[in-house]
Amino acid sequence: MKKTGSGSKKEFENLYPVKDAVIKGNVVTKLSMLVMGVGNIAHKQIGKGIVFLAVEVAYIWFMIQSGIHNLSMLPSLGWREQEKVWNEKKSIYEYVAGDQSLLLLLYGIATIFVTIAFIMVWKSAVKSAYKAEVLAAKGKHLPTFKEDIKSLFDQNLYKLLLAAPIGGILVFTILPLVFMIAMAFTNYSKVDEHLILFDWVGFANFAKILNMSDGIGRRFYSVLGWTLIWAIFATGLNFIFGMILAIVINRKETKGKAFWRFCFVLSIAVPQFVSLLIMRSMLQTTGIVNTLLLKYGLIDMALPFFSNATWARVTVIVINLWVGIPYTLLQVTGILQNIPAELYEAAKIDGANAIQTFFKITLPYMLFVLTPYLITQFTGNVNNFNVIFLLSGGNPTGVGDTAGKTDLLVTWLYKLTIDKNYYNLGAVIGIMTFVVLAVVALITYRNTTSYKDEEGFM
């Protein structure tokens, strides 16, 4: 029994690779490479064989119907323009639709995804046929289709539960991402009158964005610089002030801790767009803040909260503190309550003062735990569309400029695509944003104690 169990485990872990099927498989197994499911049907696994065969038939039908055409049109993205043809019977002009490059690009990429999925199923079919051959040769039991279905609710339950999420990620995340990346290598833009028919242009869009002598290029570096400055200040100040606030509230001498936490956390309960729009109204030239300051003679003219570049940038950073500090407060409070009290007692016995205790125990412990959160917050601030768009709208914006002084890469991308219809350049900006975030996040995290010394505070 012991030996049988060991052998069963070894057979379960054997993946029956396609390479072995090609070299060692019999005629039926090799025929399964052309007609999927034949090997399973030959070994009386009828249900499984029919499923594999149905997948192959469906794929062949799809390719004949549209797949081959989609792939053939992908290199050119179409060339037939819309035509106006005179209809003698109706005595009117009728428009004959031409090619639409956007749809051809989308369908071509989707066909590639379908083909990749089919190849994966094909490999599974070949492996299954070879496995059936090997087990039959050894006189082992071949699982029936009913047993395979039953296993999906037992040892293979993870496959059943992960199928829908993985499918959703592929269709709604990976496919649009690849589509956007591909668009960056085209001249798809209303400005250049390439909305219906457009072509591949290689790295021309990237060269335009990175070229300092080009207007778009200069604006890119300006927006990139401000985006990084904004992200650093928004992340750093939220952490510093949130940490100070949490430490003050968490002190033994502080009374009514729950009340003070409630007061600051209350801002999280209010929808962010409501708070931002109210603050935007309050800080306008004729808003309540300027009105009261003028009324009591504290200023001679309205403060340019959103009309001056420096004022606007400082304003969005300061208001972001109101939105971001409560989150840091909650994070730090949880950490402070979990730092072992023995560490502070030992430090007190050794004669350490409050400042030494903070820099030697509290801060290192918080940074060890919060580093991944800070990286996530930095990434979120780089892509913080809500605060900038709802508060300042990216303003002030110069005449003819595509980006304002407070625009981030993400809000500039929105303006380039939605307002200006620079879809190709918008795709490039999206790729560049991802590259900046990936590089900063990976380098930062790999050089932190959280990564290098995972067991440091355990």
Q: What is the CATH number of the domain that holds 348?
A: 1.10.3720.10
Does residue 179 lie within any of the structural domains?
Answer: no
Q: Which residue is associated with the tokens 């809500």? A: 386
Indicate whether 348 and 214 sit together in one domain.
yes
Does residue 318 lie within any of the structural domains?
Answer: yes
Give the long-range contacts of residues 224-232, CB within 8 A, separation 24 or more: 224/409, 224/432, 224/436, 226/313, 226/405, 226/406, 226/407, 226/408, 227/382, 227/408, 227/409, 228/382, 228/436, 230/313, 230/316, 230/317, 230/381, 230/384, 230/408, 231/378, 231/381, 231/382, 232/378
Indicate whether 412 and 286 sit together in one domain.
yes
Q: What is the pLDDT of residue 9?
A: 41
Last residue in a domain, options 85, 117, 151: 151
Indicate whether 220 and 340 sit together in one domain.
yes
Q: What is the pLDDT of residue 15?
A: 64
Indicate whether 318 and 229 sit together in one domain.
yes
DSSP string for 137-187: HTTPPPPPHHHHHHHTTTTTHHHHHHHHHHHHHIIIIIHHHHHHHHHTTB-
Q: DSSP 3-state assignment of 429?
A: helix
Indicate whether 145 and 234 sit together in one domain.
no
Indicate whether 213 and 141 sit together in one domain.
no
pLDDT, one tens digit for every residue, the chain (458 residues): 344 444 444 444 356 788 888 888 899 999 999 999 999 999 989 999 999 999 999 999 999 999 999 999 999 999 888 776 667 777 776 666 788 999 999 999 999 999 999 999 999 999 999 999 998 888 888 888 889 899 989 888 998 999 999 999 999 999 999 999 999 999 999 877 788 899 999 999 999 999 988 888 899 999 999 999 999 999 999 999 999 999 999 888 889 888 998 888 888 888 888 989 999 999 999 999 999 999 999 999 999 999 999 999 999 999 999 888 998 998 898 888 888 888 888 988 888 888 899 998 998 888 888 888 899 899 999 999 999 999 999 999 887 788 999 999 999 999 999 888 899 999 999 998 988 888 888 888 887 776 666 555 55
Does residue 121 lie within any of the structural domains?
Answer: yes
Indicate whether 212 and 128 sit together in one domain.
no
Distance separating alpha carbons of residues 322 and 228, to the nearest angstrom: 20
Residue 144 domain boundaries:
2-151
Q: What is the pLDDT of residue 4?
A: 44
Indicate whether 297 and 401 sit together in one domain.
yes
Distance separating alpha carbons of residues 100 and 94, to the nearest angstrom: 18
Does residue 8 lie within any of the structural domains?
Answer: yes
Indicate whether 61 and 208 sit together in one domain.
no
Contacts of 357 (CB under 8 A, 6+ apart): 344, 347, 348
Of 380, 386, 408, 382, which is closest to residue 274 (Cα–Cα)? 386
Does residue 235 lie within any of the structural domains?
Answer: yes
Q: What is the pLDDT of residue 378?
A: 92
Last residue in a domain, options 121, 136, 151: 151
Distance separating alpha carbons of residues 391 and 277, to the nearest angstrom: 6
Look at the chain and report how many structural domains it folds into.
Answer: 2
Q: What is the pLDDT of residue 188?
A: 93
Contact 123, 117 (CB under 8 A): no
Does residue 7 lie within any of the structural domains?
Answer: yes
Reported pTM:
0.82
Indicate whether 367 and 230 sit together in one domain.
yes
Does residue 40 lie within any of the structural domains?
Answer: yes
Last residue in a domain, options 121, 151, 181: 151
Cis ω before 271 (30° cut-off from 0)? no
Indicate whether 55 and 122 sit together in one domain.
yes
Q: What is the pLDDT of residue 273?
A: 87
Does residue 396 lie within any of the structural domains?
Answer: yes
Indicate whether 122 and 214 sit together in one domain.
no
